[in-house]
Amino acid sequence: GDSVTQMEGPVTLSEEAFLTINCTYTATGYPSLFWYVQYPGEGLQLLLKATKADDKGSNKGFEATYRKETTSFHLEKGSVQVSDSAVYFCALKANQAGTALIFGKGTTLSVSS
Amino acid sequence: EPEVTQTPSHQVTQMGQEVILRCVPISNHLYFYWYRQILGQKVEFLVSFYNNEISEKSEIFDDQFSVERPDGSNFTLKIRSTKLEDSAMYFCASQKGTSDHNEQFFGPGTRLTVL
């Protein structure tokens, strides 16, 4: 079945460092891809999404490009801030109405000043 | 801004007891979901609900689980006889419409601890 694999954490960075969190997927068909973020004590929030190959999702300085040829959707940010410390989840969703999200395990990011 | 709310934030129960986890989805949303995350593991889909019935469920969602939308605002998950392995964070989510790109909005979760 469909699945998502993302890099193990925790990822520990200094402020202003470059961030990459790897995510690869296995799916039949052409799913939509998502990054969700969970700040301490809060629920999952959509960070960005891409719905077809070569789409780039972006938000709050984060970017991810839907790469069909490598089945990847890596999350990047050029300069992280302490406030970016959170757990990041890669997810996919089949393109059918009402279908569920399939999540990766989550990657904890800790940014220090 | 409208948000999904969940109560309680933390529930502790004894093995074999029934628990009901409550969610209030965003008011004009049509699709509702429950997910769970066992500590250190993936967020897993449990069940989706549309038009007052289950539309999809996973292998995890066995006979001890049930969902209900009793009054048009609440969306509940009941576990009839809890097991130790039901200890997890349970997330409720809602989605506005039928477009497959519609965002799912998540609540803050309920941490269930079964002793």
Per-residue model confidence as pLDDT tens digits over B88-102: 999 999 998 766 566
| Residue type present at position A65 | T
Contacts of A105 in chain B (CB under 8 A): 40-42
CB contact under 8 A, B45 and A94: no
Read off the pLDDT of residues A54-90 as tens digits, 9 standing for 90 and up: 999 999 999 999 999 999 999 999 999 999 999 999 9
Among A47, A51, A101, pick the best mutation site for testing chain B contact (most B Cβ within 10 A).
A101
Cα dist. A3→A52, A86, B48 in Å? 17, 22, 18
Residue B111 belongs to what H/E stretch?
strand B110-114
**Residues B80, B21 contacting (CB under 8 angstroms):** no
Contacts of B59 in chain A (CB under 8 A): none
Contacts of A47 in chain B (CB under 8 A): none
CB contact under 8 A, B56 and A102: no
Mean pLDDT value across residues B39-46: 88
Strand A107-112, strand A11-14: pairing: parallel
Q: Say yes or no to pLDDT of A43 above 90.
A: no
- Whether the CA torsion B83, B89, B92, B95 is positive or negative: it is negative
DSSP code per residue over chain A: --EEEE--S-EEEETT--EEE-EEEE-SS--EEEEEEE-TTS-EEEEEEE-STT-EEEETTEEEE-BTTTTB--EEESS--GGG-EEEEEEEE-SSTTPPEEE---EEEEEE-
CB contact under 8 A, B100 and A100: no
Distance CA A48, CA A64 (A): 8
**Residues A42, B108 contacting (CB under 8 angstroms):** yes
- How high is the pLDDT of residue B102? 67
Closest Cα in chain A to B90? A43
Q: Taking CB atoms and an 8 Å cut-off, how many pairs form between chains A and B?
A: 63
Distance CA A33, CA A91 (A): 6
Distance CA A51, CA B99 (A): 12
CB contact under 8 A, B43 and A49: no
Read off the pLDDT of residues B50-87 as tens digits, 9 standing for 90 and up: 989 999 999 999 999 999 998 888 999 999 999 999 99
Chain A residues near any Cβ of chain B (below 8 Å)? 32, 36, 41-46, 49, 51, 89, 91, 93-106
